[in-house]
Amino acid sequence: MITAVLDTNALIQVFGKASPVARIRQSLLNGEWILAVSTPILLEYEEVVVRYGGQQRWSDVSRFLTLIDSLHGTVRHIGASYRFHTVIGDPDDDAFADCAIVVDADWIITSDHHFDALIGSGYKPQPITPERFINDCL
């Protein structure tokens, strides 16, 4: 089964109303792949979702993540204890890369080009856009 980390920009897209990449949200609901998260990732999700959508929107997203884990056991919460410093352009993105590397994820679903630093780096997780993830993996 595919394991991936969902960058915050992709999370916002996936949970957007009438989103062209809503297929990713549906595939999570169906238990089609494993979503890897860490506490720093969840805290960033909360911060950004609350900023742009409000507390209720964050409650909806948080309940969704709890639901898919309860239904399928497909949310893997890890304690990333290593810092690999792979994303130079944005140090906040390191939490996503660290989680992906520790969990041995296949992908980091993102539209952020800072993750291009992983390409050819020797680490397994590679960046993939939400659209390409849908076309190539689902």
Which CATH number characterizes residue 113's domain?
Answer: 3.40.50.1010
User: Can you tell me the distance from the alpha carbon of 98 to that of 30, in angstroms, rounded to the nearest whole number?
Assistant: 26
pLDDT bucket at 80, cuts 50 / 70 / 90? low
Give pLDDT tens digits for 9-41. Answer: 999 999 887 899 999 999 999 999 999 999 999
User: Can you tell me the distance from the alpha carbon of 92 to that of 80, in angstroms, rounded to the nearest whole number?
Assistant: 14
Give pLDDT tens digits for 57-74. Answer: 999 999 999 999 999 999
The pLDDT value recorded for residue 84 is 78
- Count of the separate structural domains present in the chain: 1
- On whether the pTM is more than 0.85, the answer is yes
Full residue range of the structural domain in which residue 92 is found: 3-137
